[in-house]
């Protein structure tokens, strides 16, 4: 796993994720992305003199949900702390966070490893804090937008148990997937609702002590996380190999140059002077509340993967694709529940549904038809009402129009013709128009059967039921002279 055989990497991740609450963590301002600057602010989140924080109980419920899903211990009593530092985007000059006695302690996240046992990554803690505002630098001035100030944040800290950049990315993806399954975060790295700092060190293989670490900040995409960690492991390994020493420092990832570079020590050498927040009482979590949330807990990706593997005959790859996003798996399951055969539902979801959703700028549920309508469409295929290709055409149309399956099929004239009389008439026209070829067929050019089928289907604009066309053509060609070949190829529309 390590870059060099002689060294191994030790990686721990600190993830900050914004919570999907209606209001901020300590005031009633709206928690939303994209509002006009300094629109969602009040005296509390602006740090006016004399204001006091009031804890948003919804934040507690969402955090407990995450704690339970990651097998963490939920502290019955936890406390808030002040983390002191000066920065223009931090209105109070301190961030309300948790230090001693965080809300969730321990726990783990399991990463799928193909067919083997999942790899378990231990968590150190999950704690609550408030987000800061945002500095915007212009050539002539620096501006501050406080809309984000007071957005509820979870900090999820892993133990230093990750061993490669790939594993770190897999951990991040799994964590993001869990948060999205639980509907506590949208996990959007570009908008900053899911952010990652990485602690990276390298040590000789077999060593038990940790080497000096660097903390890498500014990792706002999965790609950057992987690249930055790889780069840092290589850099540190090279330094150690050359007999150098790793300095404990903070680096910034520079995506332009594809490298990390150290920040000035002044920029990060803080003594945060944590102390218990006197404006907020101890946070008490009644055991009943934990049990209530546990009882209503949504399924997590690992549980869904296990269930699919146990109950459905799907490949590891299919399970992986279907479970990455909760709504994709939900869609697939809804189709199965509506009577579509598992494999067909899985194939359709993995190809047509994901394609439509990926090509759309809409949210998943707005990008694709309701699963019941997709199921209705696939039933028309099963009942030979339409062809598979027609279904794909209809599905694409349904994604755009929002109309139901039956209406769409009708409107586009995709209904498959199975009526023998109609098909027989077209067959007659084709056979009489192609009398030469009929003669050649009877003379032994049996391959021409496929040609006749094709002509009929073409004449019927692709809507003929190929099975019926086959049968009718066989009959007519046999009647026209010879007994039909017993092993005529089926055309397959």
Partner 1 sequence: MNDELFRLTINDARAALRKREISAVELTRACLERISATEPKLNAFLTVAESEALTQAQAADQRLAGTQPAPALCGIPLGIKDIFCVRGMRTTCASRILENFVPPFDATVIVRLREAGAVFLGKLNMDEFAMGSSTENSAFGPTRNPYDLARVPGGSSGGSAAAVAADECLASLGTDTGGSIRQPAALCGIVGVKPTYSRVSRYGIVAFASSLDQVGPLTKTVRDGAIMMHALAGVDPRDSTCSARPVPDYESALNGELRNLRVGVPKEFFVEGMQPAVDDAVRATLKHLEAAGATAREISLPHSQYAVATYYLIATAEASANLARYDGIRYGFRAEAEDLNELYHRTRALGFGPEVKRRIMLGTFALSSGYYDAYYLKAQRVRTLIRKDFEAAFNTCDVIVTPTSPTTAFRLGEKTQDPLQMYLSDIFTISVNLAGLPALSMPCGYDSDGLPIGLQIIGPAFGEETILRAADALERSGSIARRRPSAV
Q: Which residues would be at the binding site for partner 1 (CB under 8 A)?
A: 43, 46-55, 82, 84, 86, 88, 91-94, 142, 144, 271, 273-275, 278-281
Shortest Cβ distance from residue 90 to partner 1 (Å)? 9
Shortest Cβ distance from residue 52 to partner 1 (Å)? 5
Shortest Cβ distance from residue 16 to partner 1 (Å)? 22
| E strands present in 275-386 | 275-276, 283-284
- In the bound state with partner 1, the residue whose beta carbon lies nearer, of 24 and 326, is 24
Token readout for 269 is 């050498």
Q: How far is CA 182 from CA 64, 165, 294, 358, in A?
A: 11, 26, 12, 22
Instruction: Give yes or no for a contact between 19 and 184, defined as CB atoms under 8 angstroms apart.
Output: yes
Q: How far is CA 194 from CA 15, 23, 26, 207, 373, in A?
A: 7, 18, 20, 33, 34
Shortest Cβ distance from residue 199 to partner 1 (Å)? 19
Spatial CA neighbour of 232 closest among 41, 2, 32: 2
**Cα separation, 12 vs 342, whole angstroms:** 39
Token readout for 432 is 């009489």
- In the bound state with partner 1, the residue whose beta carbon lies nearer, of 43 and 339, is 43
Token readout for 83 is 């983390």
Spatial CA neighbour of 76 closest among 269, 289, 253: 289
Strand 249-254 and strand 214-219: the pairing is parallel
- In the bound state with partner 1, the residue whose beta carbon lies nearer, of 280 and 480, is 280
- In the bound state with partner 1, the residue whose beta carbon lies nearer, of 84 and 440, is 84
- In the bound state with partner 1, the residue whose beta carbon lies nearer, of 4 and 38, is 38
Shortest Cβ distance from residue 87 to partner 1 (Å)? 9
- In the bound state with partner 1, the residue whose beta carbon lies nearer, of 15 and 96, is 96
Shortest Cβ distance from residue 272 to partner 1 (Å)? 8
Shortest Cβ distance from residue 198 to partner 1 (Å)? 24
Who contacts 50 (Cβ-Cβ below 8 Å, separation ≥6)?
Answer: none
Could you give phi then psi for residue 284, rounded to 5 degrees?
A: -100, 130
Instruction: Give yes or no for a contact between 379 and 388, defined as CB atoms under 8 angstroms apart.
Output: no
Shortest Cβ distance from residue 88 to partner 1 (Å)? 5
Report helix, strand or coil for 403: coil
Q: Which run of H or E residues covers position 122?
A: strand 119-130
**In the 8-state DSSP scheme, what is residue 379?**
H
Shortest Cβ distance from residue 20 to partner 1 (Å)? 23
- In the bound state with partner 1, the residue whose beta carbon lies nearer, of 267 and 471, is 267
Residue given tokens 């602006």 in the structure block: 46
Shortest Cβ distance from residue 141 to partner 1 (Å)? 12
Strand 94-97 and strand 275-276: the pairing is unpaired
Instruction: Give yes or no for a contact between 195 and 16, defined as CB atoms under 8 angstroms apart.
Output: yes
**In the 8-state DSSP scheme, what is residue 415?**
P
Token readout for 419 is 């009526």
């Amino acid at each position: 796993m390590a870059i060099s055989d002689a060294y191994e990497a030790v990686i721990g991740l600190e993830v900050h994720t914004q919570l999907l609450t209606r209001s901020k963590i300590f005031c009633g301002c709206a928690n939303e992305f994209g509002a006009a600057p300094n629109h969602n602010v009040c005296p509390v989140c602006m740090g006016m003199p004399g204001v006091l924080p009031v804890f948003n109980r919804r934040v507690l419920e969402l955090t407990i949900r995450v704690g339970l899903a990651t097998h963490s211990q939920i502290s019955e009593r936890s406390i808030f702390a002040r983390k002191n530092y000066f920065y223009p985007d931090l209105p109070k000059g301190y961030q309300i966070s948790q230090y001693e006695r965080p809300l969730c302690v321990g726990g783990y996240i399991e990463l799928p490893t193909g067919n083997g046992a999942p790899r378990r990554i231990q968590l150190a803690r999950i704690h609550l804090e408030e987000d800061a505002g945002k500095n915007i630098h212009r050539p002539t001035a620096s501006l501050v937008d406080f809309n984000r100030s007071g957005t509820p944040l979870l900090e999820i800290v892993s133990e230093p148990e990750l061993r490669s950049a790939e594993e770190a990315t897999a951990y991040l993806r799994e964590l993001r997937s869990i948060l999205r399954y639980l509907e506590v975060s949208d996990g959007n790295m570009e908008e900053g609702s899911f952010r990652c700092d990485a602690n990276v060190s390298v040590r000789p293989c077999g060593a038990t002590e940790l080497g000096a670490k660097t903390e890498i900040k500014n990792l706002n995409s999965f790609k950057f996380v992987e690249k930055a960690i790889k780069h840092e492991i290589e850099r540190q390994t090279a330094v150690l190999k050359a007999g150098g020493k790793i300095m404990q420092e903070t680096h910034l990832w520079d995506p332009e140059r594809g490298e990390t570079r150290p920040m000035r020590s002044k920029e990060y050498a803080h003594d945060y002077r944590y102390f218990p927040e006197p404006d907020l009482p101890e946070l008490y979590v009644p055991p009943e509340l934990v049990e209530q949330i546990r009882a209503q807990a949504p399924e997590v990706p690992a549980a869904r993967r296990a269930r699919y593997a146990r109950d459905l005959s799907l490949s590891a790859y299919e399970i992986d694709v279907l479970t990455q996003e909760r709504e994709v798996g939900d869609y697939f399951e809804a189709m199965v529940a509506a009577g579509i055969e598992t494999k067909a539902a899985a194939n359709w979801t993995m190809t047509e549904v994901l394609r439509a959703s990926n090509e759309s700028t809409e949210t998943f549920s707005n990008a694709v038809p309701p699963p019941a309508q997709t199921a209705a469409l696939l039933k028309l295929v099963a009942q030979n009402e339409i062809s598979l290709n027609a279904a794909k055409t209809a599905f694409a149309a349904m994604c755009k129009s929002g109309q139901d399956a039956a209406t769409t099929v009708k409107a586009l004239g995709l209904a498959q013709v199975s009526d023998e009389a109609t098909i027989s008439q077209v067959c007659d026209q084709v056979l009489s128009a192609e009398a030469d070829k009929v003669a050649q067929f009877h003379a032994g050019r049996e391959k021409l059967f496929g040609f006749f089928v094709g002509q009929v289907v073409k004449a019927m604009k692709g809507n003929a039921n190929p099975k019926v066309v086959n049968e009718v053509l066989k009959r007519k060609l046999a009647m026209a002279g010879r007994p039909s070949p017993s092993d005529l190829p089926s055309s397959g529309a």
